[in-house]
Structure formats: C-alpha cells, structure tokens
Amino acid sequence: MNHFNPEQALSETRREFGEHGGVTPSISRSSTFTVIDPETMPEIFGGIRGPQQGGCFLYSRHFNPTVDILARYLAAMEGTEFAVCTASGMSAISCALLQLCRNGDHIVSSDTIYGGTHALLEDLLPQLGITTTFVDPTDTDAFKKAITPKTRVLYTEVLGNPTLKIADIRALSKLARAEGLSLVVDNTFAPMMISPAHLGADVVVYSMTKYINGASDLVAGAICTTKAMVHQLMDLHTGRVMLLGPTMDPRMAYDIIQRLPHLALRMREHSRRALAVCRRLEELGVAVVYPGLDSFAQHDLATGLINRGYGYGGMFTVDCGTRDRADDLLDELQNKEDFGYIAVSLGYFDTLMSCSGASTSSEISPDDQKKMGLSPGLVRLSIGYTGSLEKRIEQMERAVTAVGLTNK
Ligand SMILES: *Cc1c(COP(=O)(O)O)cnc(C)c1O
C-alpha cells in the first residue's frame, strides 16, 4: 500500500479565508478586474505579470481568485503542481487530450471506460484526425503492443467503468516514460483512495460531478497536472481550456471548496458500507464484483495501488445475467425496498444504481460491450451512506432473494 496521505496534504496547503475574517472563502464573482497601473496592462494580458508577480487578475475565463483556490486545493490533494477546474468532467478529458494530440496523432486507451469518453475517442476525435486503439486495461503489454510512432497518449481509468477492472498505473507510467508518452488517468471513481500522480501519471482528470462534490447537484471537472501543462491549457493563442472555453463559475468552485474537507470521511464510509454489503452478497452466492473482496481477480493489485485507510471505494456490480433480471432487481431495490434510486451517475450520499449496458455504457456497441466483459445484466451500484447499514443489508438480502440471484 502507499503512504501518501491526500487528506493530510490537503490540510497542509495554505487555507484561504474570506473577507472580514470569514472562516469560508469569499466568492469573487467579477468577470473582469481593475488594472491600477495602465502601463502594466500588456504584461498582465500577456500572462507575464499575474497576481503573484505584482500584477492582478484580468478576466475570469483565464483565472479567477475563487476558482484558483479550488485548483490549488485539488493540486495539493493530488500531489500535482497545479490544476485547472472546468465546467464538466467531459470538458476536462477532451481539453486534456486535445492539448496533447494534434491531427495525425494516436492514443492507446483502455476499452473499459466511461461511455462519453469512449464516444469521444471512437467517434469525435477521428473527425479531427486523432485515432485511438482500445486495449484491455489489465494487460500492460497490450498497451505496449498498440503503440505506434504516432502515439502521444496512454489513457485509462484506474477502476474501469463499469467492470471495475484495474489498470496497473505504475507499470503504465513506466511504459509511458520509456516511450516518451503522456499517461492520462481518469480518477473519478477513486479520489483520495488512489493518487495517480504519485503512481506516475502525468495528467489526472476528474468528473467532480461524482464523489468529489458528492451531492449530485452540480456538473464540474478538473485537470490536475504540471504547471507547464496548465500554462499550455490556458495559453492565449492555443490553450484548449482558454479558447474552447469550458470555464468553471466561481459560485460552483465555492460549493466544491466547501465539500472537499469531508471528502475523505465520505470515501471511507462509502467503502466501509460497500465492503459489508458485498461480503453479505458473496455469502449468499450472488455474482458480486468489488475490489475489496478477496475473490476479486485483481485484489492484490488494488491493494498495492490504494492509499492506506480509504478502503476500496463505493462502487460494485451485481451480474443478474439478463437485462430483464437486472430490471427486476432495480425495481425491487428502488420500489419495494427503498434501498436506493435508479439513476445514472455515482458518488451521491444515497445509493444510485443502473443497468450499465442500457445506460451509461450504451454509447458502446453490443460487440464492444461483450469484448470489455460487460454483461447485459450487469447492475452497477454506487453505495450511499444514508440509513442504518444493518437495515440496508436486510433490504439487499430480500431483493436478491426475490429476484432469485442467490444460490443458497
Ligand atoms: C461521469 C463521468 C465522466 C464525465 O463527467 P461529466 O462531469 O458528466 O462531464 C467521465 N469519467 C467518468 C469515469 C465518469 O463517471
């Protein structure tokens, strides 16, 4: 296990207080900022003289004081030099990839990724001359074999969505380094729990819509990386975030700043409950997949990648075999037991669950779903932490028994 402590790192970064001694930061909602000395305008505009160089903020699509606080906190938590906050997870992913790849370039990606990212790589980026080869994330050699002279980026999620297959980030980062490529990792499923930059990733992207925010009430993303890459992303002439413009609103940044301090607590409780529910499901003979179970094919790799003390996350899957049975289980869990809600997304305080093949992975063709090991009856659950755990386990037991998923 790793000894990096993201919670500690976050607490040690300089704390921002509000005007008038407020314990929370102030929200700077200005889109533009006054330049006191007109002669400094060219240097400020050119990015040479920022607030830290005796200049000032200029315009909020570029940098904004409140959004910068969040970026600084995220960078501390990830152990990267800096971060850029964006309007969504997809804009973080697309801007990072577009910054690293030009027309003619090539990406090697895990085939077990979020449906929107799969569509970006498979359908949209080829229209811009950027192609992708998809490989099994558990097979580092497959990444190596797929590399061509045109390859610029290796892309993966740590815990693949929705099959929870784990990519060996250490091995992939060694490969990326040896080949002169950038390793981009989507860590949306595992903030705090896994620190990809500490394992060698060059760029860590997040959908903050999920666990980081944790309240399912906003859409946001982040790119955590080097100062040099942040400067490229914000470059006045070619910066993908600067010019494509998926800027984060300062009010949004404030909301997320207020939820970061309890992210670690939340992750621990999601993990504790997921493990308890999954152990019970396994006892009942249900086809449950969870990285924290000894039966999980890559349990040792998972243990070797996670930071100590956060558990194995809040995501698990139950394979119901067929779509119809998956629907029956969802119906029991939501409408009879009130265990959780049938909804896409994850990382909420209540349980969210969906049949992946028919929802968040439906952009992926049935053939490709089969190849990545996604059964049509797979139900993905993002376990919540409301209600008593004992009652939740009883509800789950009744539901899987009613649908006939137990072998006991
Ligand atoms: C939701 C999600 C995204 C996309 O994020 P948005 O905030 O919806 O744009 C990307 N990757 C993963 C793993 C996700 O779960």
pLDDT tens profile 5-15? 999 999 999 99
b/e per residue 72-105 (b: at least 16 CB within 10 A): bbbbbbbebebbbbbbbbbbbbbbbbbbbbeeeb
- Output the CA 34–ligand 1 centroid distance in Å: 36
Residue 233 — very low, low, confident or very high, per pLDDT cuts 50/70/90? very high
Q: Are residues 309 and 162 in the same domain?
A: no
Examine the fold and report which residue of 261, 281, 311 is the final residue of a domain before the chain moves on.
261
CA angle 186, 190, 195 (to 5 degrees): 75
Rounded CA separation 204/96 (Å): 9
Q: Are residues 309 and 363 in the same domain?
A: yes
Judged on CB neighbours under 10 Å (0-12, 13-18, 19+), 133 is middle
Q: Are residues 255 and 268 in the same domain?
A: no
Measured from the CA of 221, which atom of ligand 1 is nearest?
A: 7
Q: Are residues 172 and 315 in the same domain?
A: no
Q: Are residues 237 and 95 in the same domain?
A: yes
| CATH code of the domain covering residue 335 | 3.90.1150.10
* Mean pLDDT calculated for residue range 261-272: 98
Q: If you take atom 12 of ligand 1, which residue's CA is the nearest one? A: 114
- The full length of the chain comes to 408
Ligand 1 probe mutation, 209, 248, 356, most atoms within 8 A of CB: 209
Examine the fold and report which residue of 205, 227, 261 is the final residue of a domain before the chain moves on.
261
- Output the CA 207–ligand 1 centroid distance in Å: 5
Measured from the CA of 93, which atom of ligand 1 is nearest?
A: 10
* Mean pLDDT calculated for residue range 318-332: 96
Residue pLDDT, tens place only, 42-90? 888 877 777 777 778 888 898 899 999 999 999 999 999 999 999 999 9
Residue 386 — very low, low, confident or very high, per pLDDT cuts 50/70/90? very high
- Output the CA 55–ligand 1 centroid distance in Å: 36
- Output the CA 220–ligand 1 centroid distance in Å: 9
Q: Give the model's pLDDT for residue 370.
A: 82
Q: Give the model's pLDDT for residue 408.
A: 66
Q: Which of 57-61, 101-105, 114-118, 308-312 has the lowest mean pLDDT?
A: 57-61
* Mean pLDDT calculated for residue range 354-362: 84
Examine the fold and report which residue of 239, 261, 283 is the final residue of a domain before the chain moves on.
261
Q: Which residues line ligand 1 (CB under 6 A)?
A: 88-90, 114, 116-117, 157, 161, 186, 188-189, 207, 209-210, 219, 221
- Output the CA 360–ligand 1 centroid distance in Å: 10
- Output the CA 179–ligand 1 centroid distance in Å: 28
pLDDT at 2 over 70: no
Q: Give the model's pLDDT for residue 35.
A: 87
Range of the domain at 389: 264-403
Q: Give the model's pLDDT for residue 53.
A: 78
pLDDT at 204 over 60: yes
Ligand 1 probe mutation, 188, 194, 363, most atoms within 8 A of CB: 188
pLDDT at 136 over 70: yes
Q: Are residues 97 and 49 in the same domain?
A: yes
Q: Give the model's pLDDT for residue 1.
A: 52
pLDDT at 379 over 90: yes
Q: Would 391 be classed as within a structural domain?
A: yes
Q: Choose between 43 and 229: higher pLDDT.
A: 229
Q: Would 117 be classed as within a structural domain?
A: yes
Q: Are residues 48 and 154 in the same domain?
A: yes
How many domains, the chain? Answer: 2
Considering the entire predicted model, what is its pTM?
0.95
* Mean pLDDT calculated for residue range 309-332: 96
Taking all residues of the chain, what is their mean pLDDT, rounded to a whole number?
A: 94
